[in-house]
Structure 1
Amino acid sequence: MALLEVEQLGVRFMRRDGPPLTVVHDVSFALEAGGTLGIVGESGSGKSQTVMAMLGLLALNGRAHGHARFRGDDLLAMKPGALNRIRGDRIAMIFQDPMTSLNPFLTIERQMTESLQRHRKLTRRAARTRAIEALERVRIPDAARRIGLYPHEFSGGMRQRVLIATALMMEPDVLIADEPTTALDVTVQAQIMALLREMNRERGTAILLITHDMGVVAELCDDVMVMYAGRAVEKASATSLFNSPLHPYTVGLLGALPRLDAPGGAPLRTIAGNPPLPGSGGQGCAFAPRCAQAFERCHQETPLLRASGARERACHLPAPVARGAHA
């Protein structure tokens, strides 16, 4: 049994002035203990809403269906009390926006030690010591003094490191990281990535990484799920996906990356057009309007995610797209 198993997870938001807005369509994936899975895609592809639904953190008008089983127990069916005992303890999350994830009215110490006192039953003094050690691990200088400060007294990058330290100090079974290094400079980003790899390899922490940075995925992840317009369009090992992407969208994503071996002055390739607005998809493949290889069936029938060898893709093309093909 997988440590975390998501099956046919869908998310929709209720609206007063119209029908429900569906933003995630029947997404499934599994994460083994000690495994690393990257979920990639453009903004609005449904990456963050997928994990927010798993943890019961959708907005009040959000509704989720399907299953998200942690050690066999369905998170979506849990009562709030039972879910609270898992969130922040056995499953920890590094949120994308440190400005809204930290309470501006509480000190960093209060916010970090609360989880340790609640879930680990530590004394306030012991929890403070452990929190300071966690801040030092993410390279926050003078941590013993800074832990008594408020969030507004930290830079954006420092606040992001506080969130990372808070998640790491709990030593969770599953760590969900939503764009964990976006606000960090390159040096600190490398240090944080090294910490995540250490947790994964030495402690067996399973990592679910949500990002648009394919370089981070290549560095950390064993497997990758590519999402577009709320659907999973390709699943593969990281090695397979980077060596030979099968879906035109994945080809486009990789083709837009800067390459050290590219001829001098060669322009980056882009994907034509724009992604659809969340919930605006009609019939057919959502990527078809931007795909140079689309044909009539693509505009009429939504492709299902099907196995292609040891991998999966949702595409009507009869054969894998050659590496480097323009999408």
Structure 2
Amino acid sequence: MAVLLDVENLGVRFSRKDAAPLEAVSDVSFTLEAGKTLGIVGESGSGKSQTVMALLGLLASNGSASGVARYRGKDLLAMDTRALNAVRGARIAMVFQDAMTSLNPFLTIERQMTETLQRHRKLSRKEATWRAIGALEAVHIADAARRVGQYPHQFSGGMRQRVMIAMALLAEPDLLIADEPTTALDVTVQAQIMDLLRELNRERGTAIVLITHDMGVVAGLADDVMVMYAGRSVEYASAESIFTAPSHPYTIGLLNALPRLSDDGDAPLVAIPGNPPPPGAVTPGCAFAPRCPYAYARCETVRPALNAFGARGAMRACHWPLSELKGRVR
């Protein structure tokens, strides 16, 4: 299958007035094939959102990106604003994690949705409105012809998230980026949103980049997974490999922290001790070493390289022998 997005050595840094630049993301590489789903996981502050913001040119004014990000062979990072605007919303769309703050409370859903079609598809207002209604129906919003004229506050949290997904899909993009799409939603609504994304991927062939801290969400949707820690990729492999044979202590820690139906009622969750380093913190060795149960002297002084292993382009950044980590997931 053709490669849709190919990212090499992506870096993100933010300039600061009275301090050295903050390195938020360093040397991140991944590929995404058309019609596939990539899950990017990690704790808050690991660089997940900044990675995709850099691809779309949505960094804060003091931010800059380096590396290469080829979308259909063209480098997104080298595009000028006009060229990037032709891609954003039309070929690559994004669903942000807080639908209430992403939607304009002063405009109806219809006005916010038709703007995309009028800009990118040059449709009339009437044509765009009918397309907007169809998009709302596609994400299973009942009575869409009436509700399209309502305001964001008249929708529940789950319905607002569906509206955001409908808006992202209006121009029929090749790639949908979903940044924490189930945050602040109850479990039932989370399941509905994930079912919707799965349906869009399967029936429309829309490629998806799913950003989340929830390993359970990734297990139900992703083909491949990139695990990030302190702004770097520490493991990259197929979802099957990640969940059955994780190769990095951090990934193992995330999986061991998940509750299981097989556990009895008294089984405690196994938390990863300590906290992630603050964004931009400079460490001479492995950033995860202070929290890693397998760390030894070399981990504290030498940063592990991201090296290939196994099949399908799997990679890991760890000094510990892979054979010694097998079977460590509870």
TM-score of Structure 1 vs Structure 2, range by shorter chain: over 0.9
Identity, in percent, stands at 71
TM-score (norm 2): 0.94
Match of 1:101 in 2: 102
Describe the SS at the equivalent of 2:3.
coil
**Greater CA drift, 199-208 or 85-94:** 199-208
On the 8 A contact 2:98/2:183 being kept in 1, the answer is: no
Look up the equivalent residue of 1:124 and give its one-letter code: R
On the 8 A contact 1:243/1:323 being kept in 2, the answer is: no
1:30-45 alignment runs, 5 A limit: 30-45=31-46
1:134-213 alignment runs, 5 A limit: 134-213=135-214
Match of 1:314 in 2: 317
Match of 1:92 in 2: 93
- Aligned-partner Cα distance in 2 for 1:153–1:48: 28
**Greater CA drift, 195-204 or 259-268:** 195-204
On the 8 A contact 1:138/1:191 being kept in 2, the answer is: no
1:152-301 alignment runs, 5 A limit: 152-301=153-302
Match of 1:15 in 2: 16
Look up the equivalent residue of 1:323 and give its one-letter code: G
Describe the SS at the equivalent of 1:220.
coil
On the 8 A contact 2:255/2:329 being kept in 1, the answer is: no
- Aligned-partner Cα distance in 1 for 2:186–2:232: 31
On the 8 A contact 2:176/2:208 being kept in 1, the answer is: yes
Please state how far the C-alpha of 1:169 moved relative to its aligned partner.
2.9
**Distance change in 2, residues 1:19/1:112 (3 Å):** same
- Aligned-partner Cα distance in 2 for 1:115–1:126: 12
Describe the SS at the equivalent of 2:220.
helix
Please state how far the C-alpha of 1:150 moved relative to its aligned partner.
2.5
TM-score (norm 1): 0.95
On the 8 A contact 2:158/2:189 being kept in 1, the answer is: no
Please state how far the C-alpha of 1:121 moved relative to its aligned partner.
2.2
Structure 1 residue ranges without an equivalent (≥5):
none
1:24-103 alignment runs, 5 A limit: 24-103=25-104
Please state how far the C-alpha of 1:165 moved relative to its aligned partner.
1.3
Describe the SS at the equivalent of 2:168.
helix
Alignment deviations for residues 292-325 of structure 1 (CA, whole Å, 9 cap, x no partner): 1100000001111001212210001023412335
Look up the equivalent residue of 1:109 and give its one-letter code: E
**Greater CA drift, 203-212 or 294-303:** 203-212
Please state how far the C-alpha of 1:83 moved relative to its aligned partner.
0.5
Alignment deviations for residues 26-83 of structure 1 (CA, whole Å, 9 cap, x no partner): 1000001111110000000000000000000000000100011100110111011111
